[in-house]
Amino acid sequence: MSRQPAKDLPPDTFDEREDADGSLEQADDAPEIDFDFEEGAVKAGTEIIRRFWTTLPSGPGVYRMFDHKGDVLYVGKAKNLKARVGSYARGQAHSNRIARMISQTAAMEFVTTATETEALLLEANLIKQLKPRFNVLMRDDKSFPYILVTADSEAPQIVKHRGARRRKGSYYGPFANVWAVNRTVNALQRAFLLRTCTDSYYENRTRPCLLYQIKRCAGPCTGEIALPEYQTLADNAKAFLAGKSNAVKDRMREEMQAASEVMEFERAARFRDRISALSAIQGTQGVNTQGVEEADVFALDEQAGQFCIEVFFFRNFQNWGNRAYFPKADRTMTADEVLASFMGQFYDDKPAPRLVLVSHVIEDAELLAAALSSRTEYRVDIHLPQRGERKNLVEYAQRNAKEALGRRLADTASQGKLLVALGQSFGLPAAPRRIEVYDNSHIMGTNAVGGMIVAGPTGFAKTHYRTFNIKSEELTPGDDYGMMREVLQRRFKRLVKENPRTPAQAAVAAEEAGEIGMVPPPEVDTETLPAWPDLVLIDGGKGQLDAARTALEEMGVTDVALVGIAKGRDRDAGRETFFVPGRPPFKLPPRDPTLYFVQRLRDEAHRFAIGTHRAKRKREMLTNPLDEIAGIGPTRKRALLHHFGTVKAIQRAAVEDLAKTPGVNAATARAVYDFFHAQA
């Protein structure tokens, strides 16, 4: 019987051979690895996998492994599903990570695809959605900002853009952060005088705004520039962003020279200032390139079992910024495995450039390039450079990855020491792994919001931040105690329901869900931030602390440490008094690192709550009451504002005056009048 190596095996599985009838045989030289868990669990998982394996096709597809609770453990793709899943159908010679995964497998699901490329794209999409425990996970999948030059209005608008590209126009990016976008948009305003105002603001202008006065806009809203000339400015801006910067600057120099020759020195000075603005864009990009017009650079560094991937964006021979990622991955995974999986998820919701430079050899580079190319109108190349400028770019990115990971490890170590000291200061049995800090913000009870920030071993966990719009109508405006009770009740009621950690809480959650019997509390994943806080900090004194404690006790939560932070005399930092149930009030020594740490937590909660309150207040200030009137669309709204000038004038107008507005009939005039006078 002839034997041949099994195809399409995962890189971290054992060496095996497949018989002609499809049965698997372990190679004589396969390594044996000891496991720190029961062998019976691995055998049970193996038997479950083998039952699925017997009926699998030998084509490409995606497989998912589930535990007994129905949570996804792992998502993988395969060129040959039967061969790949068969590699798991043995209980020996796996790495620790694979063996743990097999031991927890209770079920599997499969999706067959037409090609391996489709399987790769589906795998990346499912990993980002499901966040399986044993896959490499992107911890920061926040969308990148772009610059958008719109094409859905008579006068194109230049704005920063995030999210889906539904609006008609030209998109340029990505930029690593919003600061780079703001800097570039500001410079482009000075160079091309494009408007940044909204369409409604543009359509309702009767005279030029301040941006026109300071030469940051050409004033198309009031006819200060003819629309064909303004369109030429927009075309020049798009050409500059598309990489034709030298051609655009050459045209400006020619026009500046022509204006100076006919002694139109003011016009020549305007061109001079615009050229200077374009030079500023090109001169503040950090590391620029000479031979790489468009590329993304991925460089990975590994230290102490942790990974950092630094991504640089180069467009139009300019560096448009960089961002460091710290993916969650098993310590046993190799650097090329982590990088390949990360890149698949990275480009799941964004187009790839024509060239992608990497720091490590990627086994399925051609397959990944084909998958990325299938989503674009051009070919995408993934390249590991060996010399020249491209290699210098990768080395530069890798050096940044090494430094970023070093800083993170140092911060984590110091953060761990602070958490230990914090636990000792507040009498906790162990260092807290999750700290939640609460604060309220309002002005005389209006636009009241509550804010919750979260901190852990790696610092602030901003993806866990939450805001609470105060909804209770029974509260007296400005009742801070009542607001705190509402925030904590809503937070912990949901926490008890979704993550019960005691049999009593599990029973309550099951009863609310319509289930019968006791449900065991979920297992704690020690590798991630826990759902329950070990310490809750309240920005307030004894009164706030008592309100918080009462709110938690009403829900049966009595095992969460509570600490109140009262501001010092004259609200000076460093004189805070701490309130802990069962202990007399106390202060921490001046210049104590733990005190500074608590102040930083409190200030972050304060910043977050105030920022949320201001954003809510701004939204309400910008809300136009006309939008709430049935039958008033954009055309009638614009007609009313043109006729009366302001909403207050519309509110004071009689029905007869409203009916004189062009396009507004008697019924609509009566509806507008009744709306405002019913509000009074």
Contact indicator for 187, 277 with CB cutoff of 8 Å? yes
User: Which pLDDT belongs to residue 264?
Assistant: 75
* Arithmetic mean of pLDDT, 594-608: 90
- Other beta carbons within 10 Å of 566: 19
* Arithmetic mean of pLDDT, 624-648: 78
Note the pLDDT tens digit of each residue in 101-146. 888 888 888 888 888 888 888 888 888 888 888 888 876 656 778 8
User: Which pLDDT belongs to residue 501?
Assistant: 72
CA atoms within 13 A on the CB side of 553: 8
Structure tokens at 279: 């030079």
> Sheet containing 24-26: which strands, arranged edge to edge?
4-5, 16-18, 24-26
Sign of dihedral through CA atoms 250, 252, 256, 262? positive
Q: Is 29 or 366 the better-scoring residue by pLDDT? A: 366
User: Which pLDDT belongs to residue 203?
Assistant: 84
User: Which pLDDT belongs to residue 480?
Assistant: 85
* Arithmetic mean of pLDDT, 86-93: 73
Superfamily name and number for 294-408: Ribonuclease H-like superfamily/Ribonuclease H (3.30.420.10)
Q: Do the first three CATH levels of 435-588 and 625-679 match, i.e. the same topology?
A: no
DSSP structural state of residue 524: P
Please state the φ and ψ torsions of residue 340, each to the nearest 5 degrees. Answer: -65, -45
Q: Is 217 or 41 the better-scoring residue by pLDDT? A: 217
Strands 466-469 and 535-539: unpaired
Q: Is the per-residue pLDDT at 515 higher than 50?
A: no
Q: Is 474 or 150 the better-scoring residue by pLDDT? A: 150
Contact indicator for 561, 536 with CB cutoff of 8 Å? yes
Find the length of the chain: 680
* Arithmetic mean of pLDDT, 202-214: 87
Residue labelled with tokens 């301040």: 210
User: Which pLDDT belongs to residue 321?
Assistant: 79
For residues 220 and 205, give the distance between their C-alpha atoms in angstroms, rounded to a whole number. 10
User: Which pLDDT belongs to residue 608?
Assistant: 92
Q: Tell me: domain 435-588, CATH 3.30.420.340, correct?
A: yes
For residues 178 and 611, give the distance between their C-alpha atoms in angstroms, rounded to a whole number. 17
Note the pLDDT tens digit of each residue in 538-568. 988 888 899 999 999 888 888 899 999 988 6
User: Which pLDDT belongs to residue 92?
Assistant: 60
Q: At what angle do helices 388-425 and 593-622 cross, to 10 degrees?
A: 110
Q: Is the per-residue pLDDT at 284 higher than 70?
A: no
* Arithmetic mean of pLDDT, 421-435: 91
pLDDT category at 290 given cuts 50, 70, 90 is low
For residues 430 and 452, give the distance between their C-alpha atoms in angstroms, rounded to a whole number. 22
DSSP structural state of residue 519: -
User: Which pLDDT belongs to residue 5?
Assistant: 34
Q: Tell me: domain 625-679, CATH 1.10.3720.10, correct?
A: no
Residue type, 369: A
* Arithmetic mean of pLDDT, 27-36: 38
pTM for the full predicted model? 0.60
DSSP structural state of residue 5: E
- Which residues are within 8 A (CB) of 515 and not within 5 positions of it... i.e. 6 or more apart? none
Residue labelled with tokens 């709430």: 628
Q: Is 6 or 430 the better-scoring residue by pLDDT? A: 430
* Arithmetic mean of pLDDT, 604-624: 82
Q: Is the per-residue pLDDT at 609 higher than 60?
A: yes
Closest among 276, 272, 357 to 311, alpha carbons compared: 357
Q: Is the per-residue pLDDT at 282 higher than 90?
A: no
pLDDT category at 453 given cuts 50, 70, 90 is very high
* Arithmetic mean of pLDDT, 270-280: 71
Cis peptide bond upstream of 174, omega within 30: yes
User: Which pLDDT belongs to residue 12?
Assistant: 36
Q: Is the per-residue pLDDT at 674 higher than 50?
A: yes
- Other beta carbons within 10 Å of 198: 11
Residue type, 643: H
Q: What percent of the chain is modeled with pLDDT above 70?
A: 84
Contact indicator for 264, 289 with CB cutoff of 8 Å? no
> 102: burial class by Cβ within 10 Å (0-12, 13-18, 19+)?
buried
pLDDT category at 444 given cuts 50, 70, 90 is confident
CA distances from 389 to 164, 269, 298 (A): 34, 38, 15
Residue type, 227: L
**Considering only 121-130, 266-275, 475-484, which range has the smallest mean pLDDT?**
266-275
Q: Is the per-residue pLDDT at 607 higher than 80?
A: yes
Residue labelled with tokens 């449900």: 519
Note the pLDDT tens digit of each residue in 154-182. 899 998 888 777 888 888 877 777 777 88
Q: Is 241 or 378 the better-scoring residue by pLDDT? A: 378
- Which residues are within 8 A (CB) of 257 and not within 5 positions of it... i.e. 6 or more apart? 268
Helix (H, G, I), strand (E, B) or coil at 174: coil
pLDDT category at 300 given cuts 50, 70, 90 is very high
Domain boundaries, the chain: 4-130, 146-283, 294-408, 435-588, 625-679
R_g of the chain, CA atoms, integer Å: 31
For residues 337 and 306, give the distance between their C-alpha atoms in angstroms, rounded to a whole number. 14
CATH of 4-130, one of 3.40.50.10740, 3.50.50.60, 3.10.100.10, 3.40.1440.10: 3.40.1440.10
User: Which pLDDT belongs to residue 512?
Assistant: 53
* H-assigned helices in 327-436: 335-346, 365-373, 388-425
Mean pLDDT, the chain, whole residue set: 80
**Considering only 84-88, 383-387, 476-480, which range has the smallest mean pLDDT?**
476-480
For residues 519 and 288, give the distance between their C-alpha atoms in angstroms, rounded to a whole number. 59
User: Which pLDDT belongs to residue 260?
Assistant: 78
User: Which pLDDT belongs to residue 591?
Assistant: 78
* Arithmetic mean of pLDDT, 587-613: 88
Closest among 616, 633, 634, 631 to 202, alpha carbons compared: 634
> Sheet containing 146-150: which strands, arranged edge to edge?
158-161, 146-150, 169-172
Q: Is the per-residue pLDDT at 26 higher than 70?
A: no
Closest among 619, 669, 637 to 203, alpha carbons compared: 637
Residue type, 479: D
Q: Is the per-residue pLDDT at 662 higher than 50?
A: yes
Nearest 10 degrees: Cα torsion 601, 606, 609, 612: -110
Contact indicator for 440, 484 with CB cutoff of 8 Å? yes
* Arithmetic mean of pLDDT, 348-377: 88
CA atoms within 13 A on the CB side of 47: 5
